[in-house]
Amino acid sequence: MKAVEMNDLTKYYKKSRGIENVSLSIEEGEIFGFIGPNGAGKSTAIRTLLNFIHPTNGTAAIFGKDIVSDSKEIKKLVGYLPSEVHYYDDMKAIDLLQYSAKFHEYKNTNRIHQLAERLQLDLHKKIEDLSFGNRKKVGIIQALLHEPKLLILDEPTGGLDPLMQNIFFELLTEERNKGATIFFSSHILSEVQKMCDRVAIIKEGKLVTVEKVETLIKNNLKKVSLISEDSQIADFDLDGVLNKETNGDHITFLYSGEIKPLLNQLTALDMKDLLIQEPSLEEVFMHYYE
């Protein structure tokens, strides 16, 4: 059974586009990244999955249960971290988390303390006295505490310092090793590269691609940098050449295709230097974003 399955999931806010015809599925046990620029529709997709907003069209299921009609059952299986956490400010963190554990009928309250220790959070402070990053930690503990089968995390690392981000990713890895599925949205390419098995890229509400992270990087896309004083360099072109930039005698571009035609074309140029390498994940994404 798929952990998450979206079929043509569409959400319009009145006439304005949230997401359109998003279809994807996430396997149980996967760490799946959801990447896209601001306003692309990541939070809309996540909030629709959690039945906070209703789909305009299409369907989705979590562990085979319909996101609208079975939403109550789904809530028991899911841990959710919103991109911005808002709580009752004058509650202490511990009270809020114990209340949350009760809601999930989760008995092992030691886990709250264990997670707080790992994340270095003082549980006895009131929410209003916590910094933005420390409130985020409360949200992380709330999402993880009942050991859900599926974690849905919307921009989870915003506000965490690098040390805490590492601890957070350790916690996610531990949950995954216990069998959890993790679906998280992010702008931060390095964390997607480090953590995810597969990634979906969303742009202007539509899914652009779903790929294994390694495939995205290796997808035959090469970054070519060369130096040449050859006057023909400005006209250099070939099927598969993308994002060409010329700066004096330096030229860089991405290339997707067979390597031989590229080399044939290059050897015709009078070159001073040539470097063909794998593009960074960022360069790959910029190519999809354009």
Ligand X SMILES: Nc1ncnc2c1ncn2[C@@H]1O[C@H](COP(=O)(O)OP(=O)(O)OP(=O)(O)O)[C@@H](O)[C@H]1O
Binding interface with ligand X (CB under 6 A): 13, 16, 18, 36, 38-44, 83
Minimum distance, C-beta of residue 43 to ligand X, in the bound complex (Å): 3
Minimum distance, C-beta of residue 13 to ligand X, in the bound complex (Å): 3
Q: Which of 49, 45, 3 is nearest to 26 (CA)?
A: 3
How far apart CA 186 and CA 200 sit, in angstroms, is 11
How far apart CA 14 and CA 3 sit, in angstroms, is 30
Q: 47 or 222, CB closer to ligand X?
A: 47
Question: Under 8 Å CB-to-CB from 82, ≥6 apart: which residues?
Answer: 139, 154
Minimum distance, C-beta of residue 45 to ligand X, in the bound complex (Å): 7
How far apart CA 101 and CA 157 sit, in angstroms, is 23
Minimum distance, C-beta of residue 39 to ligand X, in the bound complex (Å): 4
How far apart CA 34 and CA 30 sit, in angstroms, is 13
Phi (first) and psi of residue 87, to 5 degrees: -130, 175
Q: 39 or 179, CB closer to ligand X?
A: 39
Q: 96 or 201, CB closer to ligand X?
A: 201
Q: 24 or 254, CB closer to ligand X?
A: 24
Minimum distance, C-beta of residue 38 to ligand X, in the bound complex (Å): 3
Q: 43 or 193, CB closer to ligand X?
A: 43
Question: Under 8 Å CB-to-CB from 290, ≥6 apart: which residues?
Answer: 243
